[in-house]
Every structure is written in C-alpha cells, then in structure tokens.
Amino acid sequence: QGSFDDKRLELIHDDAWKYLEQTKEKFDVIVLDLPEPIDAGPAYKLSTVEFYEMVKSRLAKGGTVSLQSGASAWGNHLCYTAMINTLKQVFPIVRPYDAFIPSYGGTWGFAFASIDVKPVTASKVDGLIKTRINRPLRSLDGVSYRRLFALPKHMRKAIADEKTVITVAKPFLIYKPEE
C-alpha cells in the first residue's frame, strides 16, 4: 500500500524501446509489464536480445530487472522458455519463477535478471518484511518467496533444453497469421 506515493518511484508509461534509446538515466530496479510478442502488435521487439541489451545498459550497479515472461503452464510454455533463454544471452544472472494467477486460471512465468545481484535467502526476506513493512502480509514470507523459484522438474528441463534466442531479425511470435 502506498508504493506509488514513494518519492523513490519513477513510473514511466511510454514506448519502452524509444525511452531506453533516448535516456542516459540509470535505474536500481526496472519492472517491465509488457505484452506478449504477437505478430499484429507493435511490441514484439520488446522480447528481443537487442531490447534487453538496452535494459542492461540502463541498470545501475547492483540493479535488477523484473518482468513477466509469459504463460508457464506445461503445454503453453514456449514463450516463457524462449524468453528465459533470451535473457540468459544478455544477463549473467537470470532467476526464472512462476506464480498462479487466478485471473489467468493458471501459472504465469516471471524472471529477475541482473549483472551482479545474488539470490536472497528466506531469512533475509523475513527480515526485510519485518523492518521495511512492519505489518503482517497475507501471502509473502521467506518460505513463499523461496517457493517461487522452485520450478517443477519438467519446467527446469524445458528451460535447460531451450535453444530459441529471440532477436529483432528472428522474433518469437505467439499468434502467427496463417500462411
């Protein structure tokens, strides 16, 4: 509650590609809530190595990017695994995770990516909640945070086996028109 009132927050609602090309500003955290790459949409380039190179160049030392990466339910996971593999081409640290999203009726994939941010322990999460939030939370604690990253074996294998690298020249399009 009140996160949008925090003076440290800068909410940018703009053309992400254009904004990152033009700004020289560095960010501690970049949160991306981008549409999936569809053929008819203008945002397919926001899933590419080229875009994530720009994102990486805008991160401050110790910075991280967090993003939704597509459906992660088995059988509907190809965008998710391709996104994770693409991020791995740019960032040395990529931490895929998923969560059940009731409005989607299934699990959705996400990722943290950074140059130099190490994983956080469950006890560290509990300590941060206690000192920074100072009130009980319904869903998040150290154990539930740790669980986010415990992907099922079949999904870990799918990510490990993924070869797709999304580029502007070779986009990954979810809904391709019939040829």
Q: Are 80 and 111 in contact (CB under 8 A)?
A: no
Please state at what angle helix 78-90 crosses helix 153-161, rounded to 10 degrees. Answer: 60
Q: Are 70 and 79 in contact (CB under 8 A)?
A: yes
Q: Are 81 and 174 in contact (CB under 8 A)?
A: no
Catalytic residue, from 5, 6, 33, 161: name it. Answer: 33
Q: Distance between CA atoms of 123 and 10, rounded to whole angstroms? A: 29
Q: Are 20 and 54 in contact (CB under 8 A)?
A: yes
Q: Is 33 labeled as catalytic in the residue annotation?
A: yes
* DSSP string over 98-141: EEEEGGGTEEEEEEEEESSPPPPPHHHHHHHIIIII-S--SS-S
Beta-carbon contacts of residue 41 (< 8 Å; ≥ 6 apart):
35
Active site residues: 33
